[in-house]
Structure 1
């Protein structure tokens, strides 16, 4: 099912100049996102899947939040390659995002974000046929039963970007010394990356509530999805050193101290988790909203009205990933305790255009 959605607040923004739904733009020719269709089912029977990362050979790794396992999908077959030690699942915590080293062919490294006994942390492990022992490279990220963040993405600069949550303590987001409520930028060994806004500090941006989606466009711009509290969920264009407002503001506020999101949605329509960039569009997997949002962008700006697909068809959607062949992989998340599992859940669907 495809539903073209234009929030009433968009019309308000265009006619009155207020920005109460989607950031106002000059009226003109705008892009319409392409329509995805389900081409095949890649995998079924997954337990609370959370993250996906592709290996150079085209196979994919998938993390399961509560089982602590990483699985590999190759040629339609799902196998378990290892269990990550030190993961302590609970609430929204557990084994979260994955990333594959840009130099995997030589270093064989896989990165994972997970909740441990006292904190959230990022570790790296070698992978040949099985997982090696984890080496923790970032620790001390605040943890709680909620708002643990957890997405990883290597940028075109070779640095690792890490999304964190405020761990239910909103003051973390505005505290430059806390790793919570931030997007971090680190070297492959976990040190603060050269060129960060504050030398020696891992922080890339601040003022976030709970970021669970990171994706780069073809020009290296970073987009992030963010859970709101009771009013607005967000899609943001991330700029180095900028403040995204939480907990002072939620959604578009036109406050010069903070960055407005590109798009905001009522929380009932989104609860955005993983995102992907493809075909001049940011694709946003939505949990509570149970739909896949498509946000057309051009040069980092909104280039049309967001539309949504599969509204309620597959239940809660945790992650969308661009596959090496140009398709999108869409991950359901109905077995995490908040959804209603359907036969074969959880599953990964392959979308084509």
Structure 2
């Protein structure tokens, strides 16, 4: 059985595939809430039909208020702390750094052991435990020498800088790794379960194989077991048929959305329904096949190559790598209420991660030092962006 249980105690061929596939990914291309430990209600639930919801305004805005921090090396994941400061991961250095959200001062917590960066792999997504106030656990998704895995570590602020991360406890392992398409985004949902976006590691067939962990959205308990209420018995698989998911976000009615890299034609924003098949590699973008769940919006890979997403002010906000812009997708229920709008186009280079900063603000992380951008002297940066 492919589901690999947690550890209680503590490619070149794929690169060639990337070159021949015309991949739009990295190169070309939250906070825990209340609720029970069950799957969130279906996005088409009768208790919250889209028809009764007011649509977000067709037009919005986004402007950078300030640069929070600069001089970051290959930043990837971002996790806001309860006091407002930010934890940021370095994909290639394998470190986690604390950023003072007011002054931009950077303090390295330590290096995560076992990270094996190469290509699109390394230390990626971060998330705080739903019980962080009492357990001080930080979760991380990273590429090891053999697989992609999720670990949790104690963050001990009383220790000296550089020594504040405890030994990693592996809660989930066995996610396929590749030179490309490693997924990497993790987030705790409103149900306090751990969600992970994975990639098919360059092996397209894994996405349609429900016995594989590649090309999926996974839903786990904080201890790394298949979460109660998952659509397939004793499986962590929540949805399948994905190519490379790097964005996860919930709206204010606890409905899950995910961004997905296309290959040559269409990048996607999807409303996630438990157990549904999102089509890759049989289809890319929208299709007429009823077996596959269509995206609510799609883009040319030149215009997006999306990584992170966030929900704020009635819209999904999606950052683009190759597209070098911030997209706004206004929502009505689980549908796009109007055509997506682009902001910050080309102004800050490649954009990797976006996280709610409270109210009408977002944190946006650039990605120009990852070997595929054109870094300026102050890259990479964390930006504070005001939206509506």
Q: TM-score w.r.t. structure 1 length?
A: 0.91
Aligned to 2:85: 59
> Contact between 1:63 and 1:71, CA under 8 Å: does it hold in 2?
yes
Aligned to 1:320: 354
Aligned to 2:181: 147
* CA distance, structure 2, for counterparts of residue 83 and residue 327 of structure 1: 30
Alignment of 1:165-176 (within 5 A): 165-176=199-210
Aligned to 1:7: none
> Contact between 1:244 and 1:260, CA under 8 Å: does it hold in 2?
yes
> Contact between 1:154 and 1:160, CA under 8 Å: does it hold in 2?
yes
1:128 is aligned to 2:156: yes
1:64-107 Cα offsets, whole Å, 9 max, x none, are: 10000101112321111111000000000000000001110111
Alignment of 1:102-121 (within 5 A): 102-121=130-149
Aligned to 2:60: 34
Alignment of 1:326-337 (within 5 A): 326-337=360-371
Post-superposition, which runs of at least 4 consecutive aligned residues in structure 1 deviate over 3 A?
none
Q: Secondary structure at the match of 2:66?
A: strand
1:276 is aligned to 2:310: yes
Match of 1:163 among 197, 216, 221: 197
* CA distance, structure 2, for counterparts of residue 127 and residue 270 of structure 1: 35
CA gap of 1:216–1:326, structure 2 versus 1, over 3 A, is: same
> Contact between 1:33 and 1:295, CA under 8 Å: does it hold in 2?
no
Q: CA deviation at 1:323?
A: 1.2
> Contact between 2:112 and 2:168, CA under 8 Å: does it hold in 1?
yes
What 5-or-longer segments of structure 1 have no aligned partner?
Answer: 1-24
1:180 is aligned to 2:206: no
* CA distance, structure 1, for counterparts of residue 173 and residue 291 of structure 2: 29
Q: CA deviation at 1:32?
A: 2.2
Work out the number of aligned pairs and report it: 327
Q: CA deviation at 1:128?
A: 2.0
* CA distance, structure 2, for counterparts of residue 307 and residue 257 of structure 1: 30
Aligned to 2:26: none
Q: CA deviation at 1:56?
A: 1.2
1:88 is aligned to 2:122: no
> Contact between 2:65 and 2:386, CA under 8 Å: does it hold in 1?
yes
* CA distance, structure 1, for counterparts of residue 215 and residue 59 of structure 2: 31
1:350 is aligned to 2:384: yes
> Contact between 1:285 and 1:291, CA under 8 Å: does it hold in 2?
yes
* CA distance, structure 1, for counterparts of residue 94 and residue 243 of structure 2: 25
Match of 1:99 among 109, 122, 127: 127
Q: CA deviation at 1:36?
A: 1.4
* CA distance, structure 2, for counterparts of residue 127 and residue 325 of structure 1: 27
Q: CA deviation at 1:299?
A: 1.3
CA gap of 1:58–1:326, structure 2 versus 1, over 3 A, is: farther
Aligned to 1:13: none
> Contact between 2:302 and 2:323, CA under 8 Å: does it hold in 1?
yes
> Contact between 1:48 and 1:335, CA under 8 Å: does it hold in 2?
yes
Match of 1:258 among 292, 297, 303: 292
1:258-310 Cα offsets, whole Å, 9 max, x none, are: 00000010000000000100001100000000110000012111111100001
1:88-130 Cα offsets, whole Å, 9 max, x none, are: 0000000000000111011111100000000000000111211
Say which structure, 1 or 2, has more relative contact order (CA 8 Å, 6+ apart): 2
* CA distance, structure 2, for counterparts of residue 45 and residue 252 of structure 1: 40
Q: Secondary structure at the match of 1:269?
A: coil
> Contact between 1:33 and 1:281, CA under 8 Å: does it hold in 2?
no
1:227 is aligned to 2:261: yes
Aligned to 2:21: none
Q: Secondary structure at the match of 2:302?
A: helix
Q: Secondary structure at the match of 1:93?
A: coil
> Contact between 1:111 and 1:122, CA under 8 Å: does it hold in 2?
yes
Q: Secondary structure at the match of 1:319?
A: strand
* CA distance, structure 2, for counterparts of residue 216 and residue 254 of structure 1: 27
Match of 1:241 among 263, 275, 299: 275
